[in-house]
Structure 1
Amino acid sequence: MSGVDELLERARAGLTRVPPERLRAEHEAGAWVIDIRPQAQRNEHGEIDFATVIERNVLEWRLDPTSEAALPEASRDARIVVVCQQGYASSLAAATLQQLGIARATDLIGGYDAWREAEDGA
């Protein structure tokens, strides 16, 4: 197993990941869905209409309520579901948010690709 695979495994061990068919229900129940994909991926593959876009390079600063750059909605109590393209970078990002004290942060299994497939099949 590579080093990054081990890192990913450790990150996911602390997450209760969201299946793609549950993402909309999570949002409707109050979860903050955060799309961390860069603009080029969103342009190529599409967007989630109910997600907030916060690209990966500024995620921690925008969601850490103690940061001067935090969004007004940032809270340690927030239920956050992080979304990337395929569900890898989002796991690492969600684990980092947990390290910042946002205990209810998690990610979407399979990322945008899996969500789009679930939506198209619904």
Structure 2
Amino acid sequence: MGLDLGRELEVHADALRLRAERTKILASNIANESTPGYKARDIDFRSSLQQMASGEAADGLSLSTEDDLLYRVPNHPTEDGNTVEIGVEQAEFSQNTSDFQMSLTFINMKIKGLEKAITGNS
């Protein structure tokens, strides 16, 4: 009976891939803060992660299509149609970065635990 490292780390690895993709989306929002008509986008992290875990998402991650991205509803719409609110985007980006680091920490702890189990160190 072999060790399936992929299965052991699956949810955290999926979370890292999803958080990396979300980082790109949020960075795009921030970069387009002053683009007239630009609509801020985001993902529903929880439902996207559930799709990945259940195998519903094609190739694990299906955020490449427009249907997977949600529009962010602005608190204060602008006259030029841009829905990016820089404070909101920066806060979401910061939280996403913290969550990414937390997932990395979980993976690191899991690997260290597996290493101890394999080598017999306590």
Q: TM-score range by the shorter chain?
A: under 0.3
More helix by percentage: 2
More strand by percentage: 1
Q: Provide the TM-score with structure 1 as the length reference.
A: 0.25
Q: Provide the TM-score with structure 2 as the length reference.
A: 0.25
Which of structures 1 and 2 has the larger relative contact order (alpha carbons within 8 angstroms, sep 6+)? Answer: 2
